[in-house]
């Protein structure tokens, strides 16, 4: 059974559009893009498209691949101090000559709508109920909720340990009373854990890594990413075989970008409301 991220995203966009239409002030979202990574450009274009659909004012600062790190930090400092800039994002990945951690943590936490800074990650770690959260983990939790999948009591395997997705997702699952196993490249036998799992979340950019023999008949598979080789798309999970076995599974593409962008817009509205309450 396919878990339809596009359908859920569409429903969220309509809810957000109603909310924005009732606001008395304009909502602003700004973004920085360095370089011409094709995936990043497509991603930014999706963010711009849906921001405009929701009547959110979106402004992009696009710089060349060789843009100086200090110049980028200067721009972030300017956005931090600019009273007309309520929130902004820095599109990842950044070129190799730029220190990603330094750039992300230069953003003021209150303007970090992606929720990537150390201070905001800490709020998730201590289970601060007022927090936003980084977009991909949020869409996974939202998608499960929309399909009435309660993670309480569930055994959940997260195959990924990045600061942007793997770690925050593991924390969010833990905060919702799931039992978590986080696997990675140095896990000795990943299938030992996935065979016992109620839910497996995988995002490792390895074609068809998660196969049917690695899960049980009731395992729910959240496939977060894909790889393109020779113009062909390969999922991290063997989608066709797993889907034909009647396991619940997300399609990729079709389940990732749509929902992640929707979560960014939802974060933007949440941040707006939090700021107005203050």
Known active-site residue 167: no
Q: What is the mean pLDDT of the chain?
A: 90
Q: pLDDT higher for 273 or 108?
A: 108
Q: Domain locations in the chain?
A: 14-110, 135-257
Q: Is the pLDDT of residue 9 over 80?
A: yes
**What pLDDT, on the 0 to 100 scale, is given for residue 162?**
86
* Selected catalytic residue, list 4, 30, 75, 91: 91
pLDDT in tens, 234-264: 788 999 899 999 999 998 766 666 788 999 9
Q: Report which of 210, 263, 213 is spatially closest to residue 235, judged by C-alpha positions.
A: 210
* Selected catalytic residue, list 4, 114, 198, 238: 114
pLDDT above 90: percentage of residues in the chain: 62
Q: pLDDT higher for 182 or 114?
A: 182
Q: How far apart are CA 57 and CA 178, in angstroms?
A: 38
pLDDT in tens, 53-99: 999 999 999 999 999 999 999 999 999 999 878 789 999 999 999 99
* pTM, two decimal places: 0.88
Q: Is the pLDDT of residue 129 over 90?
A: no
Q: Determine whether domain 135-257 maps to CATH 3.40.50.720.
A: yes
Known active-site residue 91: yes
**What pLDDT, on the 0 to 100 scale, is given for residue 198?**
98
Q: Report which of 86, 113, 128 is spatially closest to residue 278, judged by C-alpha positions.
A: 86
CATH ID of 14-110, from 3.60.21.70, 1.10.10.10, 1.10.3470.10, 3.40.50.10860: 3.40.50.10860
Do the domains 135-257 and 14-110 match in fold?
yes
Known active-site residue 114: yes
As a whole number, mean pLDDT of residues 17-38 equals: 93
Q: What is the 3-state secondary structure (H, E, C) of 29-74?
A: EEEEEECCCHHHHHHHHHHHHHHHHCCCEEEEEEECCCCCHHHHHH
**What pLDDT, on the 0 to 100 scale, is given for residue 277?**
72
Return the minimum-mean-pLDDT range out of 155-164, 171-180, 231-240.
231-240
* Selected catalytic residue, list 4, 30, 47, 111: 47
**What pLDDT, on the 0 to 100 scale, is given for residue 255?**
60
């Amino acid at each position: 059974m396919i878990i339809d991220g596009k359908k859920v995203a569409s429903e969220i966009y309509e809810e957000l559009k109603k909310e924005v239409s009732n606001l008395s002030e304009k909502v602003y979202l700004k973004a920085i893009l360095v370089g011409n990574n094709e995936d990043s450009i497509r991603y930014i274009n999706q963010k711009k498209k849906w921001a405009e659909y929701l009547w959110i004012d979106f402004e992009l600062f696009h710089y060349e691949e060789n843009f100086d790190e200090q110049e980028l930090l200067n721009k972030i400092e300017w956005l931090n101090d600019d009273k007309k800039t309520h929130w902004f994002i820095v599109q990842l990945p950044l070129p190799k000559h730029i220190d990603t951690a330094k750039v992300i943590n230069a953003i003021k936490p209150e303007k970090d709508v992606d929720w990537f800074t150390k201070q905001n990650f800490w709020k998730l770690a201590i289970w601060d109920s007022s927090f936003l959260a980084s977009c991909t983990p949020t869409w996974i939790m939202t998608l499960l909720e929309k399909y009435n999948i309660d993670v309480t009591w569930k055994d959940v395997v997260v195959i990924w340990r990045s600061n942007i997705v793997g770690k925050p997702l593991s924390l969010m699952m833990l905060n919702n009373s799931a039992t978590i196993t986080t696997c990675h490249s140095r896990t000795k036998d990943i299938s030992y854990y996935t065979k016992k799992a109620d839910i497996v979340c995988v995002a490792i950019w390895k074609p068809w890594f998660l196969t049917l023999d690695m899960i049980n008949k009731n395992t729910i598979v959240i496939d977060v990413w894909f790889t393109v080789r020779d113009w062909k798309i390969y999922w991290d999970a063997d989608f066709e075989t797993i889907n034909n076995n009647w396991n619940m599974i997300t399609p990729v593409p079709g389940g990732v970008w749509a929902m992640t962008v929707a979560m960014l817009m939802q974060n933007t509205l949440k941040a707006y409301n939090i700021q107005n309450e203050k």
